Structure 1
Amino acid sequence: MMTPFGWGGIEAGVSTDSAQAGSGMKIRDGGHHTEAGDGSCLAFEVIGGPKNLQMLVESGEVTTVEAYLDPKAPIFMTDRGVKLGDPEAAVRKAYKELKQLPDIYSEPPDKKLFHYEPGGERGIKFSINGGKVTGISVGTRSIEYVEGCL
């Protein structure tokens, strides 16, 4: 179950050590550094966990937890019942207040839909491709960063 705060004890806004302790899972730098290139924003993986799950980490703090649609991997779901593979209409039904941005890697009608909790500090991003939810990202305002980094 993914919430604006994280998944499985991995919370956005805590250190990688705290995320590891809170989840009971081992996490590590997956060797993927974003285009920021300075090493300040990294993609971490859950060892032995779902292969379609990763965390984005800035300066040692988890900022985003992301899951992507993969037919050979688990289907992640939000606390309001929207899951990977659902149609865009399911997102719009479950989340009334949505911010929409274009998907810079594909053409319309692909898009990113954002739901923010009151106060706007935590939220959920839905990647919509081909009319379906292909990604769910949860966490801090970093869910709006391209490639997870500024």
Structure 2
Amino acid sequence: MKRIVFVCTGNTCRSPMAEALFRAKTQGQGYEIRSAGVAAYDGQPASVHAIQVMKERGIEHDHKSTRLSEELIEWSDVILTMTNSHKQAILDYFPAVKDKVFTLREFVGVEGYGDIADPFGGALEDYRRCAAEIEESLDMLLEVFVQKRFRES
């Protein structure tokens, strides 16, 4: 799985942070990473707090929002959503891709409530908490990919 799309609602908070964080973690490892929103308006910048939280982590990310499209779905190997409702929205419109759409937390094996809370409209600390939760899940995602490669070799 080399082509990953992270998905949230408006593609201005959670999925851009996931995209930027995972790109930073996997630099030079051959992953292609994008993000999109199920209800995004194309061309919107990431939220001010999302940009600030990424800068605090030493990551520059000049993000412009993208609405999830059929082309992006076809391009991807795996689609990782921030909530179960995002996953369900994708499956409602594109039921044939059920084998490659998961919540991020589901994909990495987190049991129980798997949604990553939306910090939109919240304080900077809400974005920091959200980024930490995403980063924890991305570290687990890397482990899943390492284990998958080991099993395939």
TM-score of the pair, normalised by structure 2: 0.27
> Greater share of strand residues, 1 or 2?
1
**Which structure: greater helix fraction?**
2
